[in-house]
Amino acid sequence: MTTGPSSSVVEIKRDRLFVMIKDRPAHLLGQNDYKRLPSEPFAVDFAALPDLIRESFAPLGGIQPVTGAMATAANGQLRDTPAEGEVAMFREAGTEFQMISVIVSLAHLGKRDGVAVATPYALSLIPASKRGAVSHSLIDLVAKLDVQKIIEETEPCYAGLNPFTGDWSLNAPLSILIGDNPFNCFLDELGLVVGQYWLATKYNPNDVLEVPLGLPDGKAEEKYRKKRTKLLYAPFGKVVTRRIWGAESPIELFLFQELLRRGLSPSLQMQFYQDGSIHPSLYHLWRDVDFRHMPVLITESDMYFPDQRVAVFCDSNKHHARAAAKRKDKKVDASLEAHGVTSVRVPGPLILNDLKAAADLVMAALES
């Protein structure tokens, strides 16, 4: 399978239903249009992503990471298309590049002011590949391809994508998957390519130029730079998805979908600290807290309702059934309660076998 700007789909069997995420609740499968992609264009609600997560992806494009050597070679005029000086520099060094796609996975499609809007539940990276191996390109190809133009013109996406395992079925333009005869695929297995960049596989980490995020001190900025470098700039050794943000398991996705169906909009993956602070990511913690007084993490909830101060946990049997795990969960719940946060623990088997009852547990906590 080839993915990336040069890939193409020879044949798409629209009547074949790819099922990459298993054990879907019958309650969801019984809903109209749950098994098919939308027949109309739609927007993506990127506001559902934490603001600093969005901002950390804003500078991506062209060749990454941007370095001082690149700026010098380009005479300070850095653009997505490399300048002649950059091309000469990378050609001489024999630098290889991986084409990386930024993928957003969608949980639910609703209507807002008459417009179809999709709510995301995961953000991932996928490298371009060929015959099951990560593709590598030299600077001459990189200089020829305008990946941003390709995204705008073809709207590439992945169908049959499971962001939890990294498996997918095919790569194709969105326009041939939706419409009057939409492709037979679950919406949550559609991964939209919302950005692409060329990742240099060799660079000087001490020469990387990062756009400051506005964090309070140098230590916080350095911590942010190292984490962002690990997530975005570490070359791929295998064809896998690299999770950046979002739900961590199918049971979280299923409960999230049912709550969205009921008109609720919980925040995903919220972090709670012993000083009473709550942050949607480490970036937010580093921005809001003096590095000399870093609080201790209590836990990270799967979902959170800030107005009602209700934290939701989807407890699988694998990680929460044993006595030691239950004692730990009770300790976490007590710590949250001390800070005025109510815990709702929803058993994973209940989500799979009676999703309606599972969502009712959350509703009861919100109403009380």
Residues 330, 331, 333, 337, Cα dihedral to 10°: 130
- CA-CA distance, 122 to 105, in Å (whole number)? 5
Residues 315, 321, 324, 327, Cα dihedral to 10°: 50
pLDDT digits (tens, 9 = 90+) for 218-262: 676 777 777 788 888 999 999 989 988 999 999 999 999 999 999
pLDDT recorded at residue 148: 81
pLDDT recorded at residue 281: 74
Per-residue pLDDT in tens (0 to 9) along the chain, 368 residues: 333 433 333 355 555 556 789 999 999 999 887 877 888 889 999 999 988 788 878 778 899 999 999 999 999 888 889 999 999 999 999 999 999 999 999 999 998 888 999 999 999 999 999 988 999 999 999 999 888 888 888 889 998 899 999 888 888 888 888 877 777 789 999 999 999 999 999 999 889 987 776 666 667 677 777 778 888 899 999 998 998 899 999 999 999 999 999 999 999 999 898 989 888 876 665 566 554 556 788 999 999 999 999 999 999 877 666 778 889 999 999 999 999 999 999 999 999 999 999 999 999 999 98
pLDDT recorded at residue 7: 38
3-state secondary structure the chain: CCCCCCCCCCCCCCCCCECCCCCCCHHHHCCCCCCCCCCCCCEECHHHCCHHHHHHHCCCCCEECCEHHHHHHCCCCCCCCCCHHHHHHHHHHCCCEEEEEEEEEEEEEEEECCEEEEEEEEEEEEECEECCEECCECHHHHHHCCHHHHHHHHCEEEECCECCCCECCEEEEHHHCCCCCCCCECHHHEEEEEEEEEEECCCCHHHECCCCCCCCCHHHHHHHHHHHHHHHCCCCCCCCCEEEEECCCHHHHHHHHHHHHCCCCCEEEEEEECCCCEECCHHHHHHHCCHHHCCCEEEEEEEEECCCCEEEEEECHHHHCCHHHHHHHHHHHHHHHHCCCEEEEEEHHHHHHCHHHHHHHHHHHHHC
The domain 250-367: what is its CATH number? 3.40.960
- Please tell me the pTM assigned to this model: 0.88
Q: What is the largest CA-CA distance in the chain?
A: 67
pLDDT recorded at residue 18: 61
Count of other CB atoms within 10 angstroms of residue 98: 19
- CA-CA distance, 330 to 348, in Å (whole number)? 17
pLDDT recorded at residue 293: 58
In the chain, where the domains are located: 26-246, 250-367
pLDDT recorded at residue 319: 62
pLDDT recorded at residue 366: 97
pLDDT recorded at residue 287: 61
pLDDT digits (tens, 9 = 90+) for 312-335: 999 987 766 677 888 999 999 999
